[in-house]
Amino acid sequence: MTALVLAGCKRTPPSDPGPGATSAAVPPAASSAPSVAAAPPPERPAVSGCFDAVRPLPSEPKAALAALSAACAPGFRPLGEAVRAADGNATVTVDVPDLACVRVIAVGAPSVRELDAVLSDAKGRELGRDVLPGRFALVAEGGPICVRTGGTLSAKVRPRVGSGEALVQVLTAK
């Protein structure tokens, strides 16, 4: 099966993606691993607005995670419980169905000055990563990551600067 890229997490693939239409993150290959589209749905909040609306970020990670989830993933629901990592390092694995769109949101304690997150498929291919500065991580900055074919996804979070607790949540469009 050739990997196709969805436009904006729509529930139907484009009628003709054209020759060579692939994502740089997922090379064309026969695979049962999720294929990805980084294009966000049109109703998503503006990137500069979603996390800016949560300034100052609450100091308690649970409150900060709830505020960021409401601002940056409106209409999304959690895929399982949020994972609390005492040392800030966590790997959260979720199974998603075909045509799923997900966001990863993580928040570190105030002692974590820079938190990194990466979302990968079952084969370890990177689907998206946090590029924002600060003690929170958002994958992906431009909107949710959408997969054509379901499978297992892993979100890895680690503090890059500082140390302390982190809380990680993977959310999916309802």
Q: Output the six-digit token pair for 142.
A: 């431009």
Handedness of CA 153, 130, 138, 75 (dihedral sign): negative
Rama region for 20: left / alpha / beta (φ>0; ψ in -120 to 50; rest): left
Domains, the chain, with CATH or none: 36-173 (2.60.120.380)
Residue 76's SS3 state is strand
Q: In sequence order, what are the residues at sequence separation of 6 or more whose Cβ sits closer than 8 angstroms to the Cβ of residue 97?
A: 150
- Whether the CB-CB separation of 5 and 37 falls below 8 Å is answered with yes
Q: Output the six-digit token pair for 110.
A: 């105030």
Strand partners, 146: 37, 101
Tokens 């949020």 map to which residue? 82
- Whole-number pLDDT of residue 8: 41
Nearest-angstrom CA–CA distance, 71 and 66: 9
Q: Output the six-digit token pair for 91.
A: 């790997």
- Whether the CB-CB separation of 109 and 135 falls below 8 Å is answered with yes
- Which residue ranges in the chain fall short of pLDDT 50? 1-32, 37-47
Nearest-angstrom CA–CA distance, 74 and 97: 20
- Whole-number pLDDT of residue 140: 84
- Whole-number pLDDT of residue 90: 96
Strand partners, 90: 157
Nearest-angstrom CA–CA distance, 46 and 52: 10
pLDDT digits (tens, 9 = 90+) for 73-104: 999 999 999 999 999 999 999 999 999 999 99
pTM of the model: 0.72
- Whole-number pLDDT of residue 11: 35
Q: Output the six-digit token pair for 115.
A: 């938190």
